[in-house]
Amino acid sequence: MPRVSSDHLQARRRQILDGARACFARYGYEGATVRRLEEATGLSRGAIFHHFKDKESLFLALAEDDAGRMADVVAEQGLVQVMRNLLSDPHGGGSVPGADWLGTRLEVSRRLRTDEEFRGRWAQRSEQLTAATRERLNRQHRSGNLRDDVDVDVLTAYLELVLEGLVSHLAMGFPADDMDPVLDLVEESVRRHRGGKV
């Protein structure tokens, strides 16, 4: 039996995650049946579950992948840039997924509210974005770009709440094209003075 390269395995994993993201976004967690996952990924159930133990593990890996991609943007450009990317790329394909990411994010929120076991499993994975945001703000504070009258942990929570509010705004179908001035205000509200993104 020929050995499969790690590049091939990574490409296959990426194919599964990308297809699953679209499937979960379209049908929700319950509606994303194995058959629909097969159609969305173009792979058999055996191929899908060779890489992921079960549907919940796949969903968690997908949500974790999205959080990791967001954390990378936060580290370089800040959490407000994640929000800008979401607004400017509503159909996905950029550094932060758009509409499909939004569907996954909403499904995570729903399951956190209704599924205690999922909440426990997700808690182990959700700190990545918060840690990246906190570290970015600490760097901005050290460089003198961040206001110093509010604790970094409070500013982190504030920006995360704005992100959740934006997600809800988009989920309700409100327009995204008038949000840039709002995000400018959010960005300015955490700065000590003009300069540097948060």
Contact 164, 186 (CB under 8 A): no
Return the exposure string of 25-46: e unless at least 16 CB atoms fall within 10 Å of the residue's CB, then b: bebebeebeeebbbebbebeee
Q: Which CATH class is domain 54-190?
A: mainly alpha
Please give the structure tokens belonging to residue 116.
């205690």
pLDDT of residue 197: 59
Query: What pLDDT was estimated at residue 3?
Result: 65
Contact in structure between 164 and 194 (CB atoms under 8 Å)? no
* Chain segment 110-137, per-residue pLDDT in tens: 888 888 888 888 876 778 888 999 999 9
Q: How would residue 175 be classed by pLDDT, with cut points 50, 70 and 90?
A: confident
* Closest among 62, 57, 56 to 22, alpha carbons compared: 62
Does the pLDDT value for residue 19 go beyond 90? yes
The mean pLDDT value for 10-24 works out to 92
Q: pLDDT per residue over 78-111, tens digit each?
A: 999 989 888 876 544 444 445 677 778 888 888 8
Domain edges within the chain? 54-190
Q: How confident is the model at residue 142 (pLDDT cuts 50, 70, 90)?
A: very high
| Lowest model confidence (mean pLDDT) among 2-6, 9-13, 151-155 | 2-6
Token pair of 114, please? 């209704």
* Confidence category of residue 198, pLDDT binned at 50, 70, 90: low
Average confidence (pLDDT) over 5-20: 90
**DSSP letter string, 63-97:** HHHHHHHHHHHHHHH-HHHHHHHHHH-TT--SSS-
Query: What is d(CA 198, CA 159) in angstroms, rounded to the nearest whole number?
Result: 9
Q: Which segments of 90-126 does DSSP mark as H helices, in order?
A: 99-114, 116-123
Cβ-based neighbours of 132, under 8 Å, separated by 6 or more: 70, 71, 72, 74, 75
Chain mean pLDDT for the chain:
85
What is d(CA 143, CA 119) in angstroms, rounded to the nearest whole number? Answer: 36
Lowest mean pLDDT among 51-60, 90-99, 152-161: 90-99
pLDDT confidence bin for 44, thresholds 50/70/90:
very high
